[in-house]
Chains A and B, each alone.
Chain A
């Protein structure tokens, strides 16, 4: 168990819908990262927050947004869903802002039908 909790484990929804994925980092970790794993793109970084502030942005679509709350949990919001958004979404956390070991949650498997 990595100590990073992601909910829900599975999500099935329809095109055009909006969903929210939740992540609770390990106790004491201030950085939260979101990654997407799809069959065609592999594992890709989406966005990072550190202590409530956005720190880095990767290949995140404009339809996607995220935030980190004062209690350090994070949410990833995906809207106007398309079939191609079906993927495994991982959250990771680390203690430091840069360079530290990242611990990954079990992921949320999103299926858009």
Chain B
């Protein structure tokens, strides 16, 4: 099946710093989503981005489908950005459409 690798696994930032999270995937995809799991366990949709670039406030994401990677940028980080960030893809060549999740990047933003 498709492999999804996220890096770095852990990240500690000072409030106000910028960061880049990476997601590599091993095959072509129909769907790529970025999620933020907050400390209460909720999975919050950040981006639906199978290709191209999107921005939402301090967050932006870019997916280069031909090179099989996606990047999530967080600027001017705040303590509320803490949590785990997941990349998930649905495999183009599979008849099924479940999302395959990476192991996540755990972000801690310190005041």
Q: Report whether A48 and B101 are in contact in the complex, using a CB–CB cutoff of 8 Å.
A: no
Report the count of interface residues on A (CB-CB < 8 A): 26
Q: Are the C-beta atoms of A99 and B45 separated by less than 8 Å?
A: no
In the complex, what's the smallest C-beta–C-beta distance from B86 to chain A, in angstroms? 7
Are A107 and B97 in touch, CB under 8 angstroms?
Answer: no
The A interface is mostly helix, strand or loop, or mixed, namely strand
Map CB proximity to A onto B74-102 as digits: 1 under 8 Å, 0 otherwise.
Answer: 00000000000010101000011111110
Q: Does B7 contact A (CB under 8 A)?
A: no
What's the interface size class on B, roughly? 20 to 34
A5 to chain B, nearest CB (A): 13
Q: Which of A75-113 contact B (CB under 8 A)?
A: 88, 90, 92, 97-104, 106-107, 109
| Known contacts A99-B31, A99-B90; A104 and B97 CB within 8 A of each other | no
Q: Which of B41, B100, B101 contacts A107 (CB 8 A)?
A: B41
Q: A residues within 8 A CB of B103?
A: 42
Chain B at the A interface: SS class = strand
List residues of B (17-48) whose CB comes within 8 Å of A's CBs: 30-31, 33, 35, 41-45, 48
Which of B41, B43, B98 is the one whose CB lies under 8 Å from A56?
A: B98
- Interface residue ranges, B against A (CB under 8 Å): 30-31, 33, 35, 41-45, 48, 86, 88, 90, 95-101, 103-104
Q: Which residues of A contact B (CB under 8 A)?
A: 2, 31, 33, 35, 42-45, 48, 55-56, 58, 88, 90, 92, 97-104, 106-107, 109
